């Protein structure tokens, strides 16, 4: 009976990993399509001519982690610093606690006040982060993850879906600057890279 249970768990984990990898690869293909499409790209016409597509780390299931969400109450609205003049209203929603390579980490997660008023974005959370690849293999100002508020207090973070802000590729955008508290003292070898 014990052997059957172990085999079942191994099969379940393998199936989840394969499904998740397919989902990530589909996400990356769609992201590349949007950058290469003249109607949806953030790039200027002359930049698009030389653009061959986004570069990604190979899928790595080690960077799909379960986090515990510590919700914060009565947080004040603040102006998120950006690379431009626009400073949108945000609030701290919570702190995510998780483990990578047996090391404990935490990141603050935010809500954009205007965005959550739009249809389909009520549960949207914004997770900017900097790690030890930033400024070398990835954009120096950090990368982003878009996640949703979970029903409970657990949430899956898939760093394979980490992306650069538009500012990494072109001028003219006001991209949120990653707060200092969201520096991970480890290399996140997943998601978009240069």
Q: What is the pLDDT of residues 77-105, one digit of tens each?
A: 999 999 999 999 999 999 999 999 999 99
Q: Which domain holds residue 100?
A: 53-193
Helix (H, G, I), strand (E, B) or coil at 45: helix
Does residue 20 lie in a domain region?
A: no
Mean pLDDT of 169-182: 95
Does residue 19 lie in a domain region?
A: no
Does residue 8 lie in a domain region?
A: no
Task: With a cut of 90, say whether residue 142 has pLDDT above it.
Answer: yes
Task: With a cut of 80, say whether residue 138 has pLDDT above it.
Answer: yes
Mean pLDDT of 148-162: 97
- How many domains does the chain divide into? 1
Task: With a cut of 80, say whether residue 49 has pLDDT above it.
Answer: yes
Does residue 28 lie in a domain region?
A: no
pLDDT of residue 38: 93
pLDDT of residue 17: 73
Q: Kind and range of the H or E element at 12?
A: helix 2-36
Does residue 57 lie in a domain region?
A: yes
Residues 6 or more apart in contact with residue 155 via CB below 8 angstroms: 66, 67, 69, 96, 147, 148
Mean pLDDT of 40-53: 93
pLDDT cut 70: percent of the chain above it = 92
pLDDT of residue 16: 55
Q: How far is CA 125 from CA 101, 149, 167, 184, 187, in A?
A: 25, 7, 20, 18, 23
């Amino acid at each position: 009976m014990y052997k059957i249970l172990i085999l079942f768990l191994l099969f379940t984990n393998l199936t989840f990993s394969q499904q998740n990898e397919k989902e990530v690869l589909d996400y990356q293909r769609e992201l590349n399509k949007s950058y290469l499409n003249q109607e949806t790209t953030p790039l200027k016409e002359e930049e698009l001519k030389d653009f061959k597509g986004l570069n990604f780390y190979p899928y790595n299931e080690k960077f799909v982690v379960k986090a515990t969400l510590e919700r914060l109450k009565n947080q004040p609205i603040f102006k998120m610093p950006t690379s431009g003049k626009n400073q949108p209203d945000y609030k701290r929603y919570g702190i995510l606690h998780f483990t990578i390579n047996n090391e404990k980490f935490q990141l603050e997660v935010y809500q954009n006040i205007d965005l959550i008023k739009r249809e389909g974005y009520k549960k949207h959370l914004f997770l900017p982060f900097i790690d030890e690849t930033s400024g070398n293999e990835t954009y120096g100002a950090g990368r982003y993850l878009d996640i949703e508020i979970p029903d409970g207090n657990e949430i899956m973070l898939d760093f394979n879906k980490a992306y650069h802000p538009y500012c990494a590729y072109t001028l003219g955008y006001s991209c949120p600057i990653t707060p200092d508290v969201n520096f991970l003292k480890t290399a996140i070898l997943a998601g978009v890279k240069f």
